Structure 1
């Protein structure tokens, strides 16, 4: 297995079998950001015994207060294993300081802009080096916001992106107190007295978040704020994005309401887009919640198959299926 790259140092830190799946964990050291200590963990899930059969790549980005376990449990249950068993080449990324990605030197000052400008392009380069096919990118909550920023800011090469799927992701919910400049400034001042926001203490998840993310969010939602970094307006840039995009919202999600998720979808300039709202009115068994939309028995039955159906719409997967009729060693399971 490859443990080096033409782009930057890479170490294969683990290679295990997890039942019918293989789990390879890489640690990337891109060295492309002002903080040279950044290292990123990237896990590949494949079918045991078929490690060399590269299906279409799917890259999964967890949300805030989360890590790779959001996408697959230690018993290999989750959307990641589901897609791997369906023949996709599944990669699970963990942002700097999360999961198996060690905390970098300037961890407390990490921002979404860092993820967008430096980390996602590095992950894209490494995955493409091992599997030079267009990749599907899937992100939950903050993970979807990171993907939207990387596409709107032109930090991800669209020619290498098959599609993107955003689960419970939005940037349009208004926090009116932050529109009052003194309140925004005061909030920033208070936040900077802390180093992290504890996910376990707030019962939001197993991971902490650096305070830099919260300060950055205050700027976005301020009176003259915008979704972007100092150089580019990501929101405006989304109108020029042409990759296929699907947005998934949950009717019971109080954190990221469906209307705001749909607004983010409509900002994309893509000709192929789809909005999926998970609620009883839409024919689902319940009004799904922010986490339950992906992590629940109901999601396993009702949502995961729809995600697979979306991924198989891409020309790349269609070509793979066509080739599988000729080459029996690369057969993907039929729907």
Structure 2
């Protein structure tokens, strides 16, 4: 198993057999950002006995307060193992300070801007080097938002992205009090007192999030805020993205509502975009929620096969309800 790279230092942390799955865990140290201590962990899933016949690479990005277990449970269940068993070459990324990725020196300052500008390109380059192919990307919630930032900022290009699927990702939900400068300033002063937002205390997930993400979000949603950083308007840049894009929203998602997920998609070129709403009205078992859109028995039966279909053809069935019933 290759554990080195011509790009930057890489260590093969472990190579295990988990039932029918092979699990190779890599630690990358790209050294490409202002904080040289950043290390990122990638878990590669394959099927035992089929290592030499891996299919197209797919990179999975978790959302906030999460880690690789969103895609891959200790029992070998999840969208990651499902796609590996379907023949895809699965790479599960863990962002700075999440899961197996250690906290970097300036962890509290981490922002989507850092993930998008430095981390995702390094991950893409390593996967391209290891596989010799351009990967597909799937992001959930903040993972999808980060992916949109990388595309809109042109930090990821056609040589690094074959297609994109965004699940429950948006940046348009408005928090009107933040449009009042005194409220934004007060919120910023309050947040700066903390190092992290605790996922366990907030009952949002198993991981913490650096306070830099919250401060960045305040700026996005402020009176003159925009989806971007001081150097680049990511929102405007999305209109120039040539790769196929799928946006998936869930009718029962109160955190990232359908209309906002659709608005993010509509910023991409019309000829390359596709939209799917997981709702009873569209023929699904029910109105899915923010997490349930990818986790649970209904998702396993209804959503995962559609993801595999998208990765194979970059298309969805014309009649979703008919396809689900046939499956």
In which range does the TM-score fall when normalised by the shorter chain?
over 0.9
> For residue 42 of structure 1, what is the aligned residue in structure 2?
42
Cα displacement (A) at 1:36: 0.5
> For residue 116 of structure 1, what is the aligned residue in structure 2?
116
Mind listing any 5+ residue stretches in structure 2 that lack a counterpart? 316-326
> For residue 284 of structure 1, what is the aligned residue in structure 2?
284
Q: Contact conserved, 1:241 with 1:270, CA < 8 A, in 2? A: no
Dislocated runs of 4+, deviation >6 Å: none
d(CA) in 1 for partners of 2:91, 2:264:
25
Secondary structure at 1:201 match in 2: helix
Q: Contact conserved, 1:244 with 1:270, CA < 8 A, in 2? A: no
> For residue 96 of structure 2, what is the aligned residue in structure 1?
96
d(CA) in 2 for partners of 1:268, 1:314:
15
d(CA) in 2 for partners of 1:13, 1:270:
42
Deviations 1:252-297 (A, max 9, x none): 0000000000010110125232111011111111110000000010
> For residue 126 of structure 1, what is the aligned residue in structure 2?
126
d(CA) in 2 for partners of 1:229, 1:128:
27
Cα displacement (A) at 1:133: 1.2
d(CA) in 2 for partners of 1:195, 1:272:
40
d(CA) in 2 for partners of 1:2, 1:314:
30
Query: TM-score scaled to structure 1, two decimals?
Result: 0.93
How do 1:44-83 and structure 2 match up within 5 A?
44-83=44-83
How do 1:1-335 and structure 2 match up within 5 A?
1-269=1-269, 271-314=271-314
d(CA) in 2 for partners of 1:20, 1:202:
36
Q: Contact conserved, 1:151 with 1:158, CA < 8 A, in 2? A: no
Query: TM-score scaled to structure 2, two decimals?
Result: 0.95
Q: Contact conserved, 1:47 with 1:84, CA < 8 A, in 2? A: yes
Mind listing any 5+ residue stretches in structure 1 that lack a counterpart? 316-334
Secondary structure at 1:148 match in 2: helix
Aligned residues: 316
Cα displacement (A) at 1:54: 2.7
Q: CA RMSD in A?
A: 1.1
d(CA) in 1 for partners of 2:207, 2:52:
33
Change (3 A) 1:314 1:160: farther
Deviations 1:111-160 (A, max 9, x none): 00000000000000100001121211000000000000000000012233
Cα displacement (A) at 1:6: 0.7
Q: Contact conserved, 1:242 with 1:270, CA < 8 A, in 2? A: no
Q: Contact conserved, 2:173 with 2:256, CA < 8 A, in 1? A: yes
Deviations 1:156-209 (A, max 9, x none): 122331110000000000000000011101100100000000001111000000
d(CA) in 2 for partners of 1:255, 1:56:
32
Cα displacement (A) at 1:314: 4.5
> For residue 319 of structure 2, what is the aligned residue in structure 1?
none
